[in-house]
Amino acid sequence: MSIQNNEIMIGLEIHIQLTNLKTKLFCSCSNDYRGTEPNTHVCPICIGLPGSLPVVNKKVIELAIRLALALDCKINNQFWFFRKNYFYPDLPKGFQISQYNKAGGKAFADGGKTTIRLNNHKKDIILNRIHLEEDPARLVHKGSIATSPFTLIDYNRSGVCLIEIVSEPVISSPEEAREFLKQLKSIVQYTGISNLELEGSVRVDANISIKGYDRSEVKNINSFKEVERALRHEIIRQKNILKRGKKLIQETRHWDDKRRITIPLRTKELEEDYRYFPEQDLVPIEINSDFIQKVKSELPEMPNERSVRFRKEYRLTEFDSYNLVLDKNFADFYEEGVKSDPSFDSEEYKLYCNWLMNDISRWLNNNNKIIQETKITPKHLVDLINAIKDGKITGKIAKSFIPDLMVGFNVKALIEKTGKRRISDKEYILKITKEVITDNLDIIRDFEKNPRALEALIGKCMKKTKGRLDPELTREILLELLSNKIKKYKKS
């Protein structure tokens, strides 16, 4: 039995902590709990002591409006909180204060969409709603959740404000899910509501089904990176069950990121089992449209708009601009750099983008850093590109400078320090090319049949000189030498 991608339906529920708040959703405990001792950022409200009363953090409304606008959602101008009742150790009150879009209740905002790009096609990921709720506590298990003899609870996270973003089940592959989350992460970064680089700031639940069969819900996927992996695993698991002729059941599963499998968690409680009812400790919230307009006017340019502008202003390709703007830090770095040199034009705009997206990105990935944590400045990269353009260094030398640039050296200092300059001395190049030819007669024989033989020889010359030869001159000289040689070869 083979199952196509269009038969797979994935819906995601993404919980994002609003880490840019200073306090929790319903109490004045500090939001900044990471790396602190357990149960030190708690108060009677967030550990659910009897008689304590929640009060809504005003800033939450503004941040939620920002996200709703950026995701094209329709903001409800009146809503109230609900109690979602269930027992779990991470929930001290026995209920979570959340929102509910039934029984007269409303989400914070309905609908919305974001456009993703995958393999040269565009797709709108349609959203169902976004809503606000409180984060449960952090549970700590000795070893795996399945084998731990008991559960330890740290309520520092309890009551931190979460925004839940619910997509429609329109995602048809783990790759689409990955692109959607990339886009979402970018939008969150641009709106300035949260820093999703922070550990534990994101949690994802995924509904996965094969068309015509019952779905499973996979909970506890603790990073965007894990989502793709968890989805892949769950799809294979479901396909295998069908292949063996067994039945898929509707169930809740837990993503075990240590063993990288999903395990059954508890039988799915029916929705009415949560016994939602309006939270009487909080009064309704009304948002007037003037305030929404004000927030809208303060929103920065969003990644999709910025990408369109980059294509126009810097004549980048659609692919380049889409990827460049995803990380706001990167895009800001780019604009500052290319704007700082008035001589820059299409060619340099493209080069600057390439250096950022290739060599610099690679270095950042390998060193697990973001660009703002390094010492490279936008101007340093301008200097690098100009040094290549002016013939001071070759592209190869420039590549070798990257690690030093990242720790704060400038190009001029590096050329002096390393003595690496482009060599355009014809005599010297002639000497090197001759040596390379003598050492590689087997490649020479290939030369007429195989055009890549020339590239191979240029490569060998570069290797011999650590990439310092002028590539154009080397090519010319090699071609001349080789055609002479081949003439002789044919005569004999």
Find which of Zn ion, another protein, none residue 211 binds, CB within 5 to 8 Å per kind. none
Alpha-carbon span 222 to 208, nearest angstrom = 17
Q: Residue from 133, 134, 154, 404 that binds another protein (CB under 8 A)?
A: 154
- DSSP-derived pairing of the beta strands 121-134 and 161-167: antiparallel
Under rule CB under 5 A, how many of the chain's residues touch Zn ion?
5
Choose one: 55-63, 211-219, 399-407, 418-426; the region binding another protein (CB under 8 A).
Answer: 55-63
Please tell me whether residue 328 adopts helix, strand or coil conformation.
Answer: helix
Total residues found in the chain within this entry: 492
Q: How many CB atoms lie within 10 A of CB 290?
A: 8
Concatenating the DSSP letter of every residue in 412-473 gives HHHHHHH----B--HHHHHHHHHHHHHHTHHHHHHTTT-THHHHHHHHHHHHHTTT-B-HHH
Alpha-carbon span 31 to 85, nearest angstrom = 24
CA distance from start to end of the chain: 65
- Over the window 218 to 257, marking each residue x when it contacts another protein by CB under 8 A and - when it does not, the resulting string is ----------------------------------------
Check residue 43 for interaction with another protein (CB under 8 A).
yes
Alpha-carbon span 360 to 368, nearest angstrom = 12
> Contact 192/20 with Cβ under 8 angstroms?
yes
> Contact 195/19 with Cβ under 8 angstroms?
yes
> Contact 235/208 with Cβ under 8 angstroms?
yes
Choose one: 109-117, 146-154, 343-351, 441-449; the region binding another protein (CB under 8 A).
Answer: 146-154
Check residue 155 for interaction with another protein (CB under 8 A).
yes
Q: Residue from 3, 43, 261, 265 that binds Zn ion (CB under 5 A)?
A: 43
- Over the window 149 to 188, marking each residue x when it contacts Zn ion by CB under 5 A and - when it does not, the resulting string is ----------------------------------------
Choose one: 137-145, 184-192, 343-351, 449-457; the region binding another protein (CB under 8 A).
Answer: 137-145
Check residue 27 for interaction with Zn ion (CB under 5 A).
yes
Under rule CB under 8 A, how many of the chain's residues touch another protein?
55
Please name the amino acid found at residue 236: I
Q: Residue from 271, 273, 347, 472 that binds another protein (CB under 8 A)?
A: 273
Q: Which residue's CB is nearer to another protein, number 152 or number 413? A: 152
CB of 133 vs Zn ion, minimal distance in Å: 15
Interface ranges with Zn ion (CB under 5 A): 27, 29, 43, 45-46
Report the interface residues with another protein, using CB under 8 A.
Answer: 21-23, 27-31, 37-44, 47, 49, 55-61, 80, 85-89, 104, 139-140, 145-146, 148-155, 265, 269, 273, 275, 278, 280, 282-286
